[in-house]
Amino acid sequence: MSHLFEAKKEINRKAFEKASTLVEEKIKSLRANTPNLPYEKTKLAEVEINKFFYEGKTVDRVMIVLRSNGCQHYKTNGGCSMCAHLNGAPLMEKITHENYVMQWNSVIDGSFNESATTKFNLNDYPVVCVYNLGSLLNPEEISFDTVKYIFASLNQYKGVKKVIIESRAEYVTEDALSAIREVYDGIVEVGIGVESTDYLVRELCHHKAIDDTKIITDAVEMLHRFNMKALAYVNFKPVFLTESEAIDDAIKTSVDCFSKFHFDAVSVEPTSLQENSLANFMYDLGLYRVPWLWSLRDIIHGIYDGTGTKKLDIRLGGYFDEEVLSGSQGTGFADRNEIFPHMTSSNCSHCTNEFVDAIKQFNMTYDVKDLDKVKPCPHCYSLWEDTKKICDSRSIMKRINDILGRM
Ligand code: SF4
Ligand SMILES: [Zn+2]
């Protein structure tokens, strides 16, 4: 895979610009199909409960997804190749501070869960994620006043030990973090989409629009200055990579995140398919398969080898089958929810469920033995091993040109 890891200065800029334009134009044309659905602006997009490993114990985590204005990178540049969260945002209307407050108040009084038999109480959840389908630290997407309202409220719940939010690196600013620290003194972890530390993979395959990783270094330093934790999201298997290239890239990126950028935790996120994404488009053409779950084992072991330690906070994130307490308002693409993918990382129909259970177990213990114990499946394991042998000698630019340049 040496041809992928070209130093940025050695890249043929003309070929890069051409490939980059092809990717961006294709993503934008797919986004044009995003329907403007009549979401209720005062109702949450989703609430999900799952287990989480926190301070050596398995605890309950609640993930609260605000119905929001959508990611700015998505609105201006088309967004990342694997993401279609804008499917869950009202395109023509703005979610105001008052709308967000009503959404948040429905968490506080439990009214978001109309079918509940027991009253929802934030104090029952030591880990709370608050997501906005974009960057919670970007005031263009959600105002600092709104963020302060949410965190001031969270500060009242002493059962909540850790709050996890997400933001692109460029919005991790002194102003944003000060706004939170004015009203919240607990543990805050900010998830930052790094996706890949390889320039070509990140900028072409992910279409991430992070030209210089200094912005990531600065963000991690800033978080640590505010006594906050930095979590890196590493997308596993973007479009245009073979399975083995994607494994190598996820390992190298995760090792870089720990060793070079000093992230406190890494979440490896296997690509799943949402409507109107470039990944989904490539899948429809028969040019993309979601990553194999077997590969995740290689990645975890590779990260241990690369860092020389197993004492790492590594999570396997993204979408797997979870209990959704509240979500679809009946307007989405799929049965469950408009942001829930229609296809997630998988092996074959015989062993996928067992491996997903092993992933859930791993996320409760961070012990790779939970993944290692899954026995090779007679139906698909050798197929996966063969898949890893597939090579593509073309550069990423050439691959993009060959596929998108001929349409
Ligand atoms: S992955 Fe994050 S930065 Fe990329 S389009 Fe989606 S929300 Fe925006
Ligand atoms: Zn199988």
Q: Whose CA is nearest to atom 2 of ligand 1?
A: 134
139: CA distance to ligand 2 center in Å? 45
Per-residue pLDDT of the chain (407 residues; tens, 9 = 90+): 545 666 677 888 999 999 999 999 999 999 988 888 888 899 998 888 888 889 989 899 999 999 999 899 998 999 999 998 877 777 778 999 999 999 999 999 999 887 777 788 999 999 999 999 999 999 999 999 999 999 999 999 999 999 999 999 999 999 999 999 999 999 999 999 999 999 999 999 999 999 999 999 999 999 999 999 999 999 999 999 999 999 999 999 999 999 999 999 999 999 999 889 999 999 999 999 999 999 999 999 999 999 999 999 999 987 665 555 554 443 443 445 667 788 889 999 999 999 999 998 898 888 999 999 999 999 999 999 999 999 999 999 999 999 999 88
Distance of CA 191 to the CA centre of its chain: 8
Counting from 1 in the atom list of ligand 1, the atom nearest the Cα of 133 is 7
Q: 170 and 73 in contact (C-beta within 8 Å)?
A: no
**Who's near 212: CB < 8 A, 6+ residues apart?**
none
Sign of CA dihedral 95, 99, 101, 107: negative
Indicate whether residue 83 lines ligand 1 (CB < 6 A): yes
338: CA distance to ligand 1 center in Å? 16
Alpha-carbon gap, residue 288 to 301, rounded angstroms: 25
The two tokens of residue 217 are 């270094």
pLDDT at 112: 87
Q: Whose CA is nearest to atom 6 of ligand 1?
A: 83
206: CA distance to ligand 1 center in Å? 10
pTM of the complete model? 0.94
Give domain status of residue 3, yes or no: no
Closest by CA position to 403, among listed 19, 126, 64, 62? 19
Residues counted in the chain: 407
* Sequential DSSP letters for 99-155: HHHHHHHHHHSSTT-TT-SS---GGG-SEEEEE-SS-TT-TTTS-HHHHHHHHHHHT
pLDDT at 401: 97
pLDDT at 385: 98
CATH code of the domain containing 279: 3.20.20.70
The vertex-176 CA angle with 171 and 178, nearest 5°, equals: 145
225: CA distance to ligand 1 center in Å? 25
The two tokens of residue 387 are 């898949």
Is 160 exposed, middle or buried, given 0-12, 13-18 or 19+ CB atoms closer than 10 A?
buried
Alpha-carbon gap, residue 40 to 107, rounded angstroms: 15
pLDDT at 34: 83
The two tokens of residue 30 are 């797919």
Count of domains for the chain: 1
Ligand with an atom nearest the CA of residue 380: 2
SS3 of 291-336: the string is CCCHHHHHHHHHHHHHHCCCCCCEEECCCCCCEEEECCCCCCCCCC
Q: Which residues surround ligand 2, an ion (CB under 5 A)?
A: 347-348, 350-351, 377, 379-380
Counting from 1 in the atom list of ligand 1, the atom nearest the Cα of 135 is 7
Radius of gyration, CA atoms only, the chain: 20
Indicate whether residue 193 lines ligand 1 (CB < 6 A): yes
Give domain status of residue 2, yes or no: no
Ligand with an atom nearest the CA of residue 171: 1
Indicate whether residue 79 lines ligand 1 (CB < 6 A): yes
Pairing of strands 323-326, 127-131: unpaired
Strands (DSSP E) contained in 167-264 are 187-193, 229-236
Q: Whose CA is nearest to atom 8 of ligand 1?
A: 71
Give domain status of residue 234, yes or no: yes
Q: Whose CA is nearest to atom 4 of ligand 1?
A: 80
72: CA distance to ligand 1 center in Å? 8
Tell me the best of 74, 86, 136, 269 to mutate to test the pocket of ligand 1, counting ligand atoms within 8 Å of each CB and taking the most.
Answer: 74
Alpha-carbon gap, residue 237 to 205, rounded angstroms: 9
Indicate whether residue 168 lines ligand 1 (CB < 6 A): yes
193: CA distance to ligand 1 center in Å? 8
Give domain status of residue 329, yes or no: yes
Give domain status of residue 43, yes or no: yes
Ligand with an atom nearest the CA of residue 84: 1
What is the domain extent for residue 231?
A: 8-404
Closest by CA position to 197, among listed 155, 163, 158, 248? 248
Q: 264 and 230 in contact (C-beta within 8 Å)?
A: yes
